[in-house]
Amino acid sequence: MLATSFVSTLIRATNGIQSRPAPAKPEQLLQLYDIENCPYCRLVREALTELDLDVLILPCPKNGERFRPELVERGGRAQFPYLVDPNTGVEMYESLDIVNYLFETYGAGKRPLKWKLGGLQTFGSMLASAPRISKGMQARTGALPAELLELYSFESSPYARLVREELCALEIPYIVRNCGRTMASEWLLPPVRNAFSITPDSELENRRNLQAREGRLSIPYLMDPNTDSGLFESADILNHLQVHYGQ
């Protein structure tokens, strides 16, 4: 299961990993009606990681009953992704329009060249969806947590993807605390870092907060205020979701 997630990550090369933090962070959380393995939604999530913007994910798997009907009422049709920016009042469909909007509104300087080649990005994202076809696509609606879960994640993490797919299938809304990379040492896997006592001093607030909270940093990390728990390790997080929110 993990192997195909690595393939998706490799296909997207460096996309959705490296961050250049937005100079002007939005005060209120952005919201995204999203399907985890949708190639169009992935592009938006990649841009969010690259701009280091947090987002409230509203999962809309096939046959979903929680946020799909809500979007149809709100935007007029069931098409994903759909961005809501409560800071500006903007709401929009169309992945590449959303990416442009995010860079124009929150980016530093020009939109990177790769995003000007939008069609190419869409094609690459479609290839990346293929190895995970049907993963997290069908609703298996779980219990709705009273308080929002928070997932420390970056878009292209193969481990975080497994967790996001499950949250999507369960239709559990969650906040993504984006934790892209800004330093070479962050590319070292946690065990290697630990072996050589390397602690990257990231400029990203989410990474700094997680390091301060737990004394170490590894992605994904799930914070569940409902059970007062913080979990590393995708397998442990998946188990936690099943035990507390699964059918």
Ligand X SMILES: N[C@@H](CCC(=O)N[C@@H](CS)C(=O)NCC(=O)O)C(=O)O
Q: Which of 7, 29, 78, 92 binds ligand X (CB under 6 A)?
A: 78
Q: Does the footprint of ligand X cover residue 94 (CB under 6 A)?
A: yes
Q: Could you tell me if 209 and 178 are in contact, meaning their C-beta atoms sit under 8 angstroms apart?
A: no
Binding of ligand X at residue 221 (CB under 6 A)? no
Q: Answer yes or no whether residue 70 interacts with ligand X by CB under 6 A.
A: no
Cβ pair 167, 174 in contact under 8 A: yes
The nearer residue to ligand X, 79 or 87, going by C-beta atoms, is 79
CB nearer ligand X, residue 79 or residue 105: 79
Give min distance, CB of 106 to ligand X, in A: 19
Rule CB under 6 A: choose which of 32, 38, 53, 168 binds ligand X: 38
Residue 168 as a binder of ligand X (CB under 6 A): the answer is: no
What type of residue sits at position 85? D
Could you tell me the smallest distance in angstroms from the CB atom of residue 36 to ligand X?
10
Q: Any contact of residue 95 with ligand X (CB under 6 A)?
A: yes
Measured CA to CA, the distance from residue 238 to residue 246 in angstroms comes to: 10
Nearer to ligand X, 39 or 145 (CB): 39
β-pair partners for 59: 34
Which of 40, 154, 174, 232 is in the footprint of ligand X by CB under 6 A?
Answer: 40
How many residues touch ligand X under the rule CB under 6 A: the total is 11
Provide the binding-site residues for ligand X, judged by CB under 6 A.
Answer: 35, 38, 40, 78-81, 93-96
